[in-house]
Amino acid sequence: MNMLYAAMFAHVMWVFFLYGWLTLYRMPAIWGIKFSASFQQHCKLVEPKISANLRNQFEWPLLFYVVCLLAIFSGSTSMLFEVSSIVFILGRIGHSVIQIYHSSIRLRGIVFCINFIAVLVMWCAFMLQQF
């Protein structure tokens, strides 16, 4: 069960990191802080991608949090459940990196499918333990 807490905490920390990263990249435009021209151009290109990725962090992960909390409160977890939670978190980080720095929709889709399957496995494992 400690692994579930760690996985949820890791995702929360990832979201905090993304917010900090977004704030840094918005500094030139919003706060008028001057950086080199190349960094400002980089910010203009990357900032919308970070922002879009942050929105993604509040979509599918909702189902991850729900199943984790249900498992914690019911006391029903398994090794498969915990491994799936780690796969999910690593997948979320990978999805972020791909969305922000690569333009491969196919690769991003593959990583999303891994995240999707990890949460599906968690839900199935949880429900099987309830019967």
How far is residue 96's CA from residue 21's CA, in Å, rounded to a whole number?
A: 12
pLDDT of 104: 87
Q: How many domains does the chain have?
A: 1
**Which CATH number covers residue 103?**
1.20.120
Collapsed DSSP state (helix, strand, coil) of residue 45: helix
| Tokens describing residue 69 | 């909390």
| Mean pLDDT confidence for 22-34 | 82
pLDDT band at 11 (very low <50, low <70, confident <90, very high): very high
CA nearest neighbour of 77 among 115, 129, 9, 10: 129
Q: What is the pTM of this model?
A: 0.88
pLDDT in tens, 54-72: 999 999 999 999 999 999 9
Question: Model confidence over 70-119: pLDDT tens digits?
Answer: 999 998 888 999 999 999 999 999 999 999 998 789 999 999 999 999 99
Structural domain for 96, as ranges = 2-130
